[in-house]
Structure 1
Amino acid sequence: MAFEANQVYINIPVKNVDASISFFRELGFEFNADYTDDNAACMVVNNNTFVMLLVEEYFQSFTKKEIVNAKESTEAILAIGVNRREEVDTLVEKALDSGGEASSDPVDHGFMYVSSFQDLDGHLWEVMSMEKKI
C-alpha cells in the first residue's frame, strides 16, 4: 500500500501575520482561529490541506537553515487547483488587487490552464484548472 497522508500542512514564513491574513482573506480563504495567534495563522485550503503562515522569527525556530528571501529567491511554488478556468483568473485578479504581484503570464496547455501571483512576502502561488484531476 502506498503512503497516504490524511492532512497536509505547508509552513511558510511571513513578515507580518496580520497583513498576510488580510491578503488571503481578500482571496476568499478562511482561517482556523484555534491555530492562529500573534506568531502563526492557519489558513484553510480545504478540509485536509492547510497553510501555516508563520512569522519569520517563529518559522526560524523550526529550522537551522537560513530563511530564503522569497522576493529574491524561490524555494517552492505553491499550487492550488480550482474547477474552472474562470476561477483561475478571478483568484489571480483578487491577489493582484489585494497587493500581490504578478508572477508570470497565464499559460494554456489545452488540458490545463495556469496563472500565478506572488503574495505579500514574494512566495509564488500558481492557480490551475485541469480537465483531468490527479
Structure 2
Amino acid sequence: MGFIKHPFFSSEHGHAMVHSRNHDIVVMISSADHFQKFIPASRRTPETTIDEVSKNVVLLGLPAKSKQEVDELVERAASAGGKAFPAVKMEGCDESMMYTRAFADLDGYLWEMVWCEEGMVKMADEALSKRIEELEKKSDA
C-alpha cells in the first residue's frame, strides 16, 4: 500500500505509518490498550455500548498551527453541537512540545486536533528522511 514506519512516532505500543508518496498521510496503528489512552476519559466507561465501541476504533487527527487554533477548532465543533474534551497529556511530552484536544462530532465519531512544537516537527522530519534514505539504499543494493 506504500506505507513506511515513521521512526520518530513509533514505539512498542504502536506505529506511525507514513505514505511513501505523501508524507502528510499518516496512519497510527496502536495496541488496544495504548489506543484507549487517546480516547477521552469520559468516553471510557463500563457502560459503553457496542455502537460507541465501534466508533472508537478510529480517531481522526488533524494538524493545527498553534495551541490556540487547537482550542478554537474544538470549541467551534462544540458550538456546532459536538462534544469537546479537555486537552490530553501525551506520554513523554509536555504542552510546550505537543498539545492535543479531541471532540466527538454529532454522530459520536472522535476527532483530535494536534499541534506540535516546530523543533519536534523538525526532529520528526529528519528521522523520517533518514529512514527513507536507508530504505532507498536497501532497494538499490
**When you count helix as a share of all residues, which structure comes out higher?**
2
Tell me the TM-score normalised to structure 2 length. Answer: 0.44
The structure with more radius of gyration = 2
Tell me the TM-score normalised to structure 1 length. Answer: 0.46
